């Protein structure tokens, strides 16, 4: 089991004295050990292996055998890179013996010499899972963040003192055997600033919670920014499960919940859902909903029209502390703004996002008045 890698020198005289089938395997000698192995785990679906080895080449044509019995290597992905003398040492051709998990490289060397080479290939059944553990302080303004990488190796290959690379210069040296799963603490951060956010989406939440038989909660999230100012920003936050705990007033740790952290590039925000809150109530009503600028054809059929709509959203904060609500509105098709009393950000052509700060024990009203145009 495992990847093997041998070298031999082919001599014309031997071939003439002992003729064999053209695909017959040559007896290989001098199995070179890896001098460095890099396992690149930055892609979510593929694992790239880079092995560096030192070959002892003879003058002339050298045959190097690369086999992978019991290991799931993608044969089409294998390539050989000449490192020490790329101008003098040449890879002439590659042959694939039938019915074998192997290939043979023919390498030409002008003189006997040591040659450093790199073998690169895609390997299956080895991957990584990211896991995050956060402890939020009782004021809910900061958290301690621990990043863990779980490596699962069922590839058939052992990796001794290999470099595991996650991308964005995140690299770790570890030993992991076949059929071994290992969890590594990759980073531990303290006093990471967060913001507690409430989010109401007009497509997902009821407009009038009083008409709902059960209590309606507003989704609550912690938002952290992947930036240097937030003590992050060294690389993208990779997808993984985030478990959140909090220190209560007695100093004990309680479990808040868990969510899946999406890929978060440098500079972007990560929103972590922790549950629903009934301390914020949002009620929305449509006060105007009428056709305007109706256009008809010669048979008096309506062919195009506009539609005027006016929404009024009431946000009530029953907490003893101020809160920040993200209000998401959706306006389909082509539209024109007539009036709004708060700043918003266009997330795309049809989605508006308001960030509303509500003082403790108070309420705010947001107006959104627009014309949907050229409706058929």
CA distance readout (Å), 317 to 74, 144, 202, 366, 375:
58, 28, 18, 14, 37
The per-residue pLDDT for range 186-229, each reduced to its tens digit, is: 899 999 999 999 999 999 999 988 877 677 889 999 999 999 99
Could you give the maximum distance between any two Cα atoms of the chain, in Å? 98
Q: Please state, in angstroms and rounded to a whole number, the distance separating the CA atoms of residues 174 and 182.
A: 10
CB 313 within 8 A of CB 284: yes
Say yes or no: do domains 2-123 and 281-375 share a fold.
yes
* Residue bearing tokens 């992991």: 176
Q: Comparing C-alpha atoms, which of 317, 176, 114, 150 is closest to residue 240?
A: 150
Region 281-375: CATH code? 2.60.40
Residue partners of 11: CB distance under 8 A and separation at least 6: none
Q: Which of 291, 285, 286, 314 is nearest to 303 (CA)?
A: 291
* 133-155 mean pLDDT: 93
2-123: CATH class: mainly beta
Give Cα 152 distance to the centre of its chain: 17
DSSP state of 26: P
**Domain spans in the chain, listed from the N-terminal domain onward:** 2-123, 281-375
pTM of the complete model? 0.74
pLDDT in tens, 161-176: 999 988 766 788 999 9
- Cα dihedral across residues 356, 357, 361, 363: positive or negative: negative
């Amino acid at each position: 089991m495992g990847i093997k890698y041998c070298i031999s020198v082919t001599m014309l005289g031997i071939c003439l004295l002992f003729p064999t089938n053209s695909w017959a395997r040559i007896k290989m000698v001098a199995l070179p050990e890896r001098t460095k192995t890099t396992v690149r785990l930055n892609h979510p679906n593929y694992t790239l292996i880079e092995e560096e080895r030192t070959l002892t080449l003879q003058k002339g044509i050298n045959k190097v055998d690369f086999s992978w019995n019991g290991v799931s290597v993608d044969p089409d992905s294998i390539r050989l890179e000449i490192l020490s003398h790329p101008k003098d040492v040449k890879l002439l051709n590659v042959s694939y013996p039938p019915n074998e998990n192997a290939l043979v490289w023919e390498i030409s060397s002008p003189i006997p010499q040591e040659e450093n080479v790199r073998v690169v290939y895609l390997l299956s059944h080895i991957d990584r899972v990211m896991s995050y553990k956060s402890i939020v302080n009782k004021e809910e303004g900061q958290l301690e963040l621990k990043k863990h990488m779980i490596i699962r190796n069922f590839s058939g290959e052992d990796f001794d003192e290999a470099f595991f690379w996650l991308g964005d210069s995140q690299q770790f040296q570890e030993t992991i055997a076949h059929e071994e799963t290992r969890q590594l603490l990759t980073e531990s951060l303290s006093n990471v600033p967060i913001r507690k956010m409430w989010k109401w989406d007009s497509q997902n939440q009821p407009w009038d919670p009083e008409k709902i038989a059960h209590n309606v909660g507003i989704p609550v999230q912690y938002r952290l920014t992947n930036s240097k100012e937030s003590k992050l920003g060294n690389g993208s936050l990779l997808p993984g499960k985030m478990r959140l705990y909090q220190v209560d007033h007695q100093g004990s740790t309680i479990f808040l919940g868990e969510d899946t952290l999406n890929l978060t590039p440098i500079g972007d925000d990560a929103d972590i859902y922790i549950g629903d809150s009934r301390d914020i109530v949002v009620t929305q009503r449509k006060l105007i909903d009428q056709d305007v600028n109706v256009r008809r054809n010669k048979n008096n059929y309506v062919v195009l029209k506009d539609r005027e709509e006016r929404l009024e959203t009431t946000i009530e904060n029953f907490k003893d502390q101020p809160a920040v609500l993200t209000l998401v509105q959706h306006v389909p098709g082509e539209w024109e703004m007539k009036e709004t009393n708060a700043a918003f950000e266009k997330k795309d052509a049809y989605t508006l996002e308001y960030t509303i700060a509500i003082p403790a024990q108070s309420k705010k009203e947001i107006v959104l008045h627009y014309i949907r145009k050229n409706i058929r």
